[in-house]
Amino acid sequence: MFVKRLILIALKKVRSNSVRILPKSFPYVLGCLLFSWNIHADSWSWSGAYLIQPETLEYSGPVQIQVKDGLVEKISSSTASKEPLFILPGFCDSHVTLGANSLGGWKDRTELESDLKQFLLHGFTHIQSIADPPWASELSEIRKKNSQYPRISVLPPVLLAESKEISASKSSGYKILKSPEEAMASLSGKRGKIHLFLRHNEGETFEVDGKLLYRMRSEAEKNGLELSVSTFGEEFANWEALSSETKVLYHPIPETSSIRPVAHNLVKQIWAPLFGIYFTRKGIGTSSFAEEWEKWTQWSPTFKERALSKEVLSTLPALSESEREEAEKEYDSYLAFLRARKNLTLRILLGSGAGHQLQFPGISGWKELRILSELLGPKEALRAATETTCQYLGAAHEGKIRVGKPAHLLIFREDPLQNWDKLKTLRTVVTERVKTEISSPEKKKTERRRR
């Protein structure tokens, strides 16, 4: 497959004060993660706004919406405004890796703080992190206790069959399986969710095949455990995940003759395609990708402040000509699979893959939203980023805006459903009792001049 298999063992130890030392200094680090621009208050209201309605994803308005004590207190009719606001529910991302810094290295404290801010400043109020060391669970619990956002859901160490590729790994983000017995035992005595990297490596003495995966899925269900699988776009891995009816799948599925007979099982499954990872990987080193990168920096002023320069992008290792041809063919196949199955729209999760190569927090979620919109339409893409993914992650607002329910609001100056470029007009993020204001580029220029 053309996509480099990005797993944590390949990451470099790029800083001495890396995230591995977090457990020894957690109180200090978590204190740093409080956002200095958060404004605490008991109540807020906005008038002349257009509000996305649950289920229909149609706007109602103009309305006045009032928030008090972290809840949506009232929604009532309002007079029109010359500068109307457009209000969407907070976004959710089902697949990130907090321990990786999107450049092939471990995160340090500053990067962790910056990444969490980036998620929030792009409207992501809930994220699920995969393949992280135990400190991620501690971070999740403390943030929940302190009502900090974005809220983090974490999974136990990822299950992964032993191979030569990972033999030297000491990462605590994985549980290495050496036999079918160990694979089955890994599902005992647990509740909640557990994740498997389903990969095929020729010449290995053990791998999780379709029969074993089916047994694992059945055992997990019997124990009240939800098993999810990353297939890395591999045809055989996808076939086995689909055949076994594993509940949750991550990574794209190719449109091939062998996949078609089992593709109907997806109506029983939930799927996050993670197209953005593959779009990015195939383009690295090309002039068209450099142009696309520049568009992303214009799309997101927040991302622009930390984006790599064109000069740095040009130094990244690119695919060979033959590899790129294969990459383009495979990527088109991935898009074709979903394009031919729009009946799956209610089962699509948004997953950005932030932490994979050049998949940066926040902007990668926006990119995934745009790709899904091109395939399914803007409403269904929005549904994936809100109702479907937020309910899957157990977000309190369930990806909806309703009276009496927790307030997780994204307030835009322009309507993003008309054009996803309008996501850059996000100005306010409400996460229950906290309101985070986002400075516009114009406002920042004014502040600089005053200094």
Q: Are residues 98 and 147 in the same domain?
A: yes
- 432 within domain boundaries: yes
Q: Are residues 183 and 98 in the same domain?
A: yes
Q: Are residues 384 and 266 in the same domain?
A: yes
380: CB partners within 8 A, 6+ apart: 342, 345, 348, 372, 373
- 28 within domain boundaries: no
| Pairing mode, strands 59-68 and 43-52 | antiparallel
Q: For residue 44, what are the β-bridge partners? A: 67
Beta carbons within 10 angstroms of residue 165's beta carbon: 15
Q: What is the CATH number of the domain that holds 440?
A: 2.30.40.10
Q: Are residues 346 and 419 in the same domain?
A: no
This model's pTM is above 0.85: yes
CA torsion sign for 56, 58, 63, 68 is positive
Give dist(CA 212, CA 181) in Å, integer: 10
- 18 within domain boundaries: no
pLDDT the model gives residue 230: 97
- 80 within domain boundaries: yes
CB-CB contact of 253 with 231 (8 Å): yes
- 392 within domain boundaries: yes
Q: Are residues 229 and 136 in the same domain?
A: yes
Q: Are residues 111 and 75 in the same domain?
A: no
Q: Which of 371, 396, 421 is the last residue of a domain?
A: 396
Number of domains in the chain: 2
pLDDT the model gives residue 85: 97
Q: What is the CATH number of the domain that holds 349?
A: 3.20.20.140
Give dist(CA 53, CA 414) in Å, integer: 17
Residues of the chain where predicted confidence (pLDDT) is lower than 50: 1-2, 4-37, 446-448, 450-451
Q: Are residues 163 and 206 in the same domain?
A: yes
Q: Are residues 187 and 325 in the same domain?
A: yes
Q: Are residues 379 and 405 in the same domain?
A: no
Q: Are residues 174 and 261 in the same domain?
A: yes
pLDDT the model gives residue 38: 52
At 295 the three-state DSSP class reads: helix
| Alpha helices, H only, 264-388 | 275-283, 287-299, 301-304, 310-313, 321-339, 363-376, 378-383
pLDDT the model gives residue 111: 87
- 4 within domain boundaries: no
Q: Are residues 73 and 208 in the same domain?
A: no
SS3 of the chain: helix, strand, coil, percent, to 5: 40, 25, 35
pLDDT the model gives residue 40: 54
- 305 within domain boundaries: no
pLDDT the model gives residue 167: 63
Give dist(CA 127, CA 161) in Å, integer: 26
- 16 within domain boundaries: no
Integer distance in angstroms from the first to the last C-alpha of the chain? Answer: 52
Query: Exposed, middle or buried, 400 (CB in 10 Å: 0-12/13-18/19+)?
Result: buried
Q: Are residues 85 and 95 in the same domain?
A: no
pLDDT the model gives residue 79: 95
Token pair for 253? 């599925």
Which structural domain, as residue segments, surrounds residue 384?
A: 91-284+319-396
pLDDT the model gives residue 444: 53
